[in-house]
Amino acid sequence: MERRPGLQTVLVYVAAIVLAVVILAPFVWLAIMSISSAADLSSRPLHWLPQVYDFSRYVTLLSVGTNSAGAAFLASLRNSLVVAAMATIAALIVAVPAAWAVSRHRQVGWTIYLTIGTYMLPVVALSVPLYKGLAALGLLNNVVGLAGVYLTILAPFTAWLLKSGFDAVPREIESAAMIDGARLDQILRRLTLPLAAPAVATAALFALLLAWDEFFYALLFTSDQRAKTLTVAIADLAGGRITDYGQIATAGVLAALPPVVIGIVMQRALVAGLTQGGVKG
């Protein structure tokens, strides 16, 4: 094997280190803020490392006492998990057949680009009709209604991602299965989806992250703990007269943990999909 020049290797490692620092630095600082005392956070000059380690904010936000800050935070965390999961599953149910149809019938391919064009509209322009629709259905301040709103965002984007995955699956495999008498649903379930598993996992991960991080619609369509999501709950922490930046940082760290765990799980699913989707020659 030909070895790369030493300078090129050094530049590759330097670029990787710089990228890692840029990506991880904000989260590291967030974690440091979460365990810093109020005196450390307000000191001049700023203490980059806490003089006193304070984990009381984690205890506060993870407490389950009635009408406590922790109970409100955990309720918002539960709502975010439920809404993101419902919206992602619904988006995959809608997007998989839509993406397959567009991939296999190019004459209707313009439809997916038309739906993607809705992303060019500002969310404020869609808020009024969505609000009136939810109000008419009695789904305001409801996790099901919020998941339905997120579906309008996730379905076009997920279908667009899945189309490229289905394009990579040879049509000849599906044609051979159809000649052997397989039904369309069997072809999709047993052939196409396993072969496109990496694309499906990637689309699911992106959809989940989009739903998890959404703020505007969650702020507009929810009003209390029955449906308020984590992004709104964190914003509420900064709404008082006195802002505890350490508590906001603690909430941010806790809010980042589920996507990290889900990302690790989905990464394993990607590898599994690549091995399961291999075609033996």
Q: Which domains does the chain have, with CATH numbers?
A: 1-54 (no CATH), 69-276 (1.10.3720.10)
> Could you tell me if 253 and 31 are in contact, meaning their C-beta atoms sit under 8 angstroms apart?
yes
Residue 185 pLDDT: 85
> Could you tell me if 156 and 116 are in contact, meaning their C-beta atoms sit under 8 angstroms apart?
yes
Percent of the residues in the chain that have a pLDDT greater than 70, as a whole number: 92
Convert the pLDDT of each residue in 152-199 to its tens digit.
989 988 998 888 888 888 888 888 888 888 888 888 888 888 888 888
Q: How far is CA 230 from CA 49, 54, 165, 179, 253, in A?
A: 27, 23, 32, 50, 12
- Distance, in Å, from the CA atom of 262 to the CA atom of 255, rounded to the nearest integer, reads 12
- Distance, in Å, from the CA atom of 216 to the CA atom of 221, rounded to the nearest integer, reads 9
> Could you tell me if 214 and 150 are in contact, meaning their C-beta atoms sit under 8 angstroms apart?
yes
Residue 279 scores a pLDDT above 50: no
